[in-house]
Chains A and B, each alone.
Chain A
Amino acid sequence: MRQDRLKKNILPIADKLFRLALSITGNKEDAEDVVQDVYYNVWKKRDEWEAIENLEAYCFRSVRNTALDKIVLKENQHQTIPDDFDFPVQGGDIQHEMEVREQIDSLEKWLKTRPEIQQTIFLLREIEGMSYKEIATVLNISEEQVKAYLFRLRRKLKEYFEKMER
């Protein structure tokens, strides 16, 4: 039963948890450590699983908290996308590809300046495609609060792109 839940619900979200940890720690090794710590602790608490309503949301919440603890200890924020990553750019124009890479780098830097909760909500929505309700469960806040944080970030993001264009 527990083995089933582990295989069906917990192990398949490893990459999602890794991306959340990476967005907070900004470091691949730390992000992996975070996910492993969380998995280990979740397994230790397997007797309490019945009482946890949404195990996936619980994992996301644990990853966020563990990652936040980690960056308090270690204030290093690097880029998350590796230098050799092959960006999907239309047309195969190298100059254009370099431009997009530069834009992405500065976008990442800009995102890092936003409050952590906004960054986390942005990631869970944009990359993991979660609903407002799911994000609210993960963060233990209301759906309205989730929407308000995301609204603030998207507004700022739009301003950022408009400024970059000028």
Chain B
Amino acid sequence: MKQETIEQLLERYWDCETSQEEERRLSDSFSNGDIPDNAKKYQALFAWKQAQAQLKGSKKLKSGFHKTPVIRFYPIMKIAASVLLVLTVGIGFYTRYEQEKFMDEIFAETYSNPEDALQETKEVIGKVSSVLQLAKDRKIKAEITDSLEINKIQNKIK
């Protein structure tokens, strides 16, 4: 760049008449050392600008939010919560269904006529009681036999 142009640019710079592009060109000229002697007194300004532009925050700033790590896991948490919800509701419905099925089987209506059902029940109860009576008779009989046997043995010993 011509030296006259830099001086002219500088004058317009101080008056705030330079564009962003012209101000960039001015900075570039100073950082390249491509400046006339009488402009060297402003060198510190452009060195300061260059140094400032290189100042950076630590990396954690760009990675976002160390105060709220939950944000980074936000989408995963949403998916996990949905899966958990579907599973819970699903298991609930399944258990209830199985339970109802089981109860239905137990209390299923097998007779259309109540009298038939009564008759059948009486028969079943009759069978059960006769079986019980039979068992009782056998037990008494066994007890009598046992005591007779014991008497026999006792007599022999005497």
Contacts and interface: CB of A to CB of B under 8 A. Distances in A.
A117 interface: no
Nearest to B61: A14
A103 B44 contact: yes
Contact of A87 (B20, B23, B42, B47): B47
B47 A151 contact: no
B24 interface: yes
Interface in A101-131: 103-104, 107-108, 123, 125-127, 129-131
B119 interface: no
Contact of A36 (B20, B44, B51, B67): B67
Nearest to A111: B48
A107 B48 contact: yes
B117 to A, nearest CB: 66
A22 B55 contact: yes
Measured as residues with beta carbon below 8 angstroms from the partner, the interface class of chain A is 35 or more
B1 to A, nearest CB: 16
Interface in B71-119: 71, 75
B62 A14 contact: yes
A11 B64 contact: yes
Main secondary structure of the interface of A (DSSP, over half): helix
Interface stretch (B9-17, B126-134, B136-144, B149-157): B9-17
From DSSP, what is the main secondary structure of chain B's interface residues?
helix
Contacts of A91: 33
Interface residues of B, number: 34
A45 interface: no
B61 A18 contact: yes
B52 A123 contact: yes
A125 B66 CA distance: 30
Contacts of A40: 65, 67-68
A157 interface: yes
B25 interface: no
Contact of A164 (B33, B41, B56, B66): B41
Contacts of A36: 61, 65-67
27 contacts: A14-B61, A15-B56, A18-B57, A31-B57, A32-B58, A32-B61, A35-B61, A39-B61, A40-B65, A81-B52, A91-B33, A100-B44, A103-B47, A104-B47, A123-B52, A125-B23, A126-B49, A126-B52, A127-B52, A130-B20, A131-B20, A150-B16, A151-B16, A154-B13, A161-B44, A162-B41, A164-B41
What are the 3 tightest A-B residue pairs by CB atom distance, in nearest-first order?
A: A18-B57, A103-B44, A90-B33
Given A22-B55, A103-B43, 12 more contacts: A3-B75, A15-B55, A15-B57, A32-B57, A39-B64, A43-B65, A81-B55, A87-B50, A123-B52, A130-B20, A154-B15, A161-B45
